[in-house]
Chains A and B, each alone.
Chain A
Amino acid sequence: MTLTASALVPDRAAFRHIIPAGEPYLFELKAGQTLRLLDLEGNQAIDTLFYSVANPRERYDPQRTLRRQNRAYLTTGSVLYSNLGNPLLTIVADTCGRHDTLGGACAQESNTVRYALDKRYMHSCRDNFLCACLHDGRLGKRDIGANINFFMNVPVTPEGALTFEDGISAPGKYVELRAEMDVIVLISNCPQLNNPCNGWNPTPAEVLVWD
């Protein structure tokens, strides 16, 4: 894996926001702005979706994104394509090295399947997504497709197995994306406690944006 650092200085960011563990955050980026997602304490999955501000029906498309780069994981150089075939954002720096877009987001309903029926009542990313979407008003359940799990490690083996490995992230690791159009960013700072995707301990994450 190749790691790419960024020269951007946090003190010069246009805005900064710390997302507490387990919470959603919806905000906008203008075309040309750079977004840094910062894993403050390490091994924290940041479940993320992107939409065009001009036309929120246009959204992140994981299959097109993977197909066009011919690789199963995201890192520096990955262009995040929309369902209409347009670049939404490009990953321009990455000190973690690999991010997942096959594992999806946790949900009450999938927790009942994956772990036990009584895990239904635990907090989940898709509940976070839905809550933020319905408050925002431009998005709803139909708009919640497969997401990116920044800082999550979900390798596919040559035999076709999908495994959830311990994170390869660490405190202070970050990924940076340049917006290619005005986008809505929808984040759930993952509250999952049933597997190691958050190191069994969900922690805060920071969002920084530069003009």
Chain B
Amino acid sequence: MTIDSLALQAALYEETVPGGGHMSFILKRGQQLRITDLEGGANVSLIMLNAGQPSERLNLPDTLKGQHTARLTAGHCLYSDMGRVLAAITADTCGWHDSFGGVLNADEVREKYGAGRYQELRNGCFRNGVDNLLVEMGKWNLDIQDLLMVVNLFSKVLVDDQGGFEFVPGNSNAGDYVELYAPMDTLMVMTALPHPMDPNPRYAPRPVRLNWLQPHSNGTAAACRTSRPENVRAFHNTERFYL
């Protein structure tokens, strides 16, 4: 599933997000982020906003219907509600990222895993996606109204012909990675927590590594731009924003 390119790219920075951790930063226009599943079985819940005007946000329905897909993989673009590309998936070694599962809140995590308080577990306490994303967004003066549908990277949920969901374990192995290229300044907000539909009854979040890359040619996202006529127009809208 990798779209291999000969593009030159410099490594800018590297950081590991521990299982249960949350993180936010602006991926600058022209930069690329690689997210690597270090141990296998990771899940990263991700939302994205226009860093300069955060009323513009990831819109998963527009993303899915614009590309006639419910799964996300290399070649796809992640659209904002304003018809622009917040990120393009330029590489993907696991082939399927989920757009259905969302994130659990504190009550739902307690129902699933039982009590896991800081008081007993210290930093091993059971985190939940709503609170992790909300706290991270609060640091940018954002609020619960800004927390919309999330993408769950590295996870796969199938839909059968009756509409029933089926979580597919083992979608991502140790070393699998996905790369996101930002054609605009994109505020990335993420947390590394188990997928809400992961049947594992034990709370076992997995770490991921983040690598910031600076491509030195514009070839990196070319395959995403031309994979569908819709993406040509979404990139056009993005470039127009920077006139």
Contact = CB atoms under 8 A, between A and B. Distances in A.
A156 B158 CA distance: 9
Interface stretch (A26-34, A101-109, A171-179): A101-109
A113 B165 contact: no
Interface string B109-139: 0000000000000000000001000000000
B65 A114 contact: yes
A85 B107 contact: yes
Q: Interface extent on B, as a size class?
A: 35 or more
B195 to A, nearest CB: 10
Q: How large is the interface on A (under 10, 10 to 19, 20 to 34, 35 or more residues)?
A: 35 or more
B159 interface: yes
A158 interface: yes
Interface stretch (A5-13, A65-73, A183-191): A65-73
A208 B99 CA distance: 34
Contact of B196 (A67, A112, A142, A145): A67
Contact of B70 (A85, A143, A162): A162
Nearest to B161: A158
Contacts of B200: none
Contact of A109 (B82, B148, B158, B161): B82
A112 B105 CA distance: 35
A161 B159 CA distance: 10
B209 interface: no
Of A66, A117, A144, A145, which is in contact with the most chain B CB atoms at under 10 Å from its CB? A145
Interface of B: 55, 59-62, 64-66, 68-71, 79, 81-84, 96, 99-103, 105, 107-108, 130, 143-150, 158-165, 196-197, 230, 233-234, 236-237
Interface of A: 57, 59, 61-64, 66-67, 70-73, 83-85, 98, 102-105, 107, 109-110, 112-114, 116-117, 126, 141-146, 154, 156-158, 160-164
25 contacts: A57-B145, A63-B102, A63-B150, A71-B164, A72-B159, A83-B144, A84-B105, A102-B61, A102-B70, A103-B64, A109-B83, A110-B65, A113-B83, A114-B65, A117-B236, A126-B81, A141-B55, A146-B61, A154-B65, A156-B163, A158-B158, A160-B69, A160-B158, A162-B65, A164-B65
